């Protein structure tokens, strides 16, 4: 499994709208692709302008198989709704090496 990790800065008064629209637009679109496993949305009680998105994929290959044109189309739709109230400030990928569960 691999993790797509995104850190977003969002206007604090728009954070809940961002989370709602992200689910309706981004998550709905990505979940249709093979390899999408799940998505988590993390919010900080101390920093109201931060949202972290953690997307779980089967592999880097399946994650990166989404056509760039499709990602641009989804982002344009999202930006049309949210305007300039958000900014991607960090993006990276991780490979899950080991998971411990009691």
The model's pTM: 0.93
* CATH of region 2-95, choose from 3.40.190.10, 3.30.70.600, 2.40.50.140, 3.30.70.100: 3.30.70.100
36-89 pLDDT per residue, tens: 999 999 999 999 999 999 999 999 999 999 999 999 999 999 999 999 999 999
What's the CA gap between 19 and 14, in Å, rounded?
9
């Amino acid at each position: 499994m691999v993790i797509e990790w995104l850190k977003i800065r969002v206007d604090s008064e728009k954070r809940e709208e961002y989370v709602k629209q992200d689910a309706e637009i981004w998550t709905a679109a990505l979940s249709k692709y093979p390899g999408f496993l799940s998505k988590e949305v993390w919010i900080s009680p101390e920093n109201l302008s931060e949202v972290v998105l953690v997307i779980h994929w089967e592999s880097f290959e399946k994650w990166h198989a989404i056509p760039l044109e499709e990602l641009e189309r989804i982002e344009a739709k999202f930006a049309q709704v949210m305007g300039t109230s958000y900014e991607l400030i960090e993006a990276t990928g991780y490979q899950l090496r080991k998971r411990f569960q009691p």
